[in-house]
Chain A
């Protein structure tokens, strides 16, 4: 049982945020469709970010409570040791390349 910490009524949350989140779901669907219609879609589907996206969708469908935390963990680098060098590296990809 998830603890009640948000003072809003669940139906009020739906009234206010359903359309916004419906639109977000459509964006994800269209993003995946676009990769299917792209040139060299196989290279896209083999990319670690695409695979992270697929796993994220499964996680959202199966988890209950703390979905956001679980999603963050799925997308995180879990290696324990510091990187040997950050030379030439500045930004982050948003998913962990070495995740199996």
Chain B
């Protein structure tokens, strides 16, 4: 079966993950820009990271038969320092035109602060102005519901951004309906302890439907699993869901959302 992994942080993974993913049928990935586990000290640090995403990682993936795409932004965990955030926002347009960049992401909120919201709005203004696709990170655990609501309110203020060009990721039982009702694409993340298990993610598909939704591993430098989507597809199969529906969730849906960027291909 063919898979698209639409949200994974390959810069934090080893090369044998690429081998395992290709063997399992994951030959197309999209990698949002994120937090490295420490705060970068300067805009130059982000420039290096954006070069890594758009050039080094793409080339490394290609060696193992995986097509690599990415998203560019300053992630919300580093948005509290407005001066640095604005220096980074100023260099982002240089990277958005690169051949593998699909849009702006993963932007959003982390601790739901005023500065995070300001930086989110400045990214949204850039997305609106350039007509970019948007990939949104929602906060963790107790912050998720409030953050999801604040993010949706913020996006609605940008009339040039239509909900069908925005995917709001890391949804769980209490936010999936909120995101769906507002007309956005929905992302479910298979991540141990802090997000969905394969079983809960498939429960959410059964209760919210399989339209305009993708599943991802968000695998990164934490305890996480680059084959999580493959394991979730097995859970769906074991429950008796038809093959065509499984293919829709793990291949057709992410392809439909990502293909809104002409730079995406499988």
- What is A's interface to B at a CB cutoff of 8 Å? 5-8, 16-17, 66, 68-69, 71-73, 75-80, 82-87, 89-96
Structural contact, B141 and A86, CB atoms closer than 8 A: no
* Binary flags per residue of B167-180, CB closer than 8 Å to A gives 1, else 0: 00000111100000
A-B contact count (CB 8 A): 87
Q: Within the assembled complex, what's the spacing in Å between the Cα atoms of A75 and B174? A: 10
In the bound complex, residues from chain A placing their C-beta under 8 Å from that of B79 are 86
**B113 at the A/B interface (Cβ < 8 Å)?**
yes
Structural contact, A82 and B142, CB atoms closer than 8 A: no
**B162 at the A/B interface (Cβ < 8 Å)?**
no
Residue pairs across A and B with Cβ atoms less than 8 A apart, 14 shown, are A5-B206, A6-B239, A72-B144, A72-B175, A73-B174, A75-B142, A77-B143, A82-B113, A83-B112, A86-B116, A92-B139, A93-B141, A94-B141, A94-B142
Minimum CB distance partner of B139 in chain A? A92
Main secondary structure of the interface of A (DSSP, over half): loop
4 closest Cβ pairs, A-B complex:
A86-B113, A72-B174, A86-B111, A92-B141
Q: How far is the CB of B147 from chain A (nearest CB, A)?
A: 9
- What is B's interface to A at a CB cutoff of 8 Å? 77, 79-80, 110-117, 139-146, 150, 172-175, 199-200, 203, 206-207, 238-241
Structural contact, B113 and A76, CB atoms closer than 8 A: no
Q: Within the assembled complex, what's the spacing in Å between the Cα atoms of A76 and B172? A: 12
In the bound complex, residues from chain B placing their C-beta under 8 Å from that of A7 are 239-241
Q: Within the assembled complex, what's the spacing in Å between the Cα atoms of A55 and B77? A: 31
Q: How far is the CB of A47 from chain B (nearest CB, A)?
A: 14
Q: How far is the CB of B265 from chain A (nearest CB, A)?
A: 34
Structural contact, B115 and A68, CB atoms closer than 8 A: no
Q: Within the assembled complex, what's the spacing in Å between the Cα atoms of A37 and B146? A: 36
In the bound complex, residues from chain A placing their C-beta under 8 Å from that of B146 are 76-80
Q: How far is the CB of A96 from chain B (nearest CB, A)?
A: 5
Minimum CB distance partner of A98 in chain B? B142
Minimum CB distance partner of B140 in chain A? A92
Q: Within the assembled complex, what's the spacing in Å between the Cα atoms of A92 and B139? A: 9
Minimum CB distance partner of A13 in chain B? B239
Minimum CB distance partner of B174 in chain A? A72
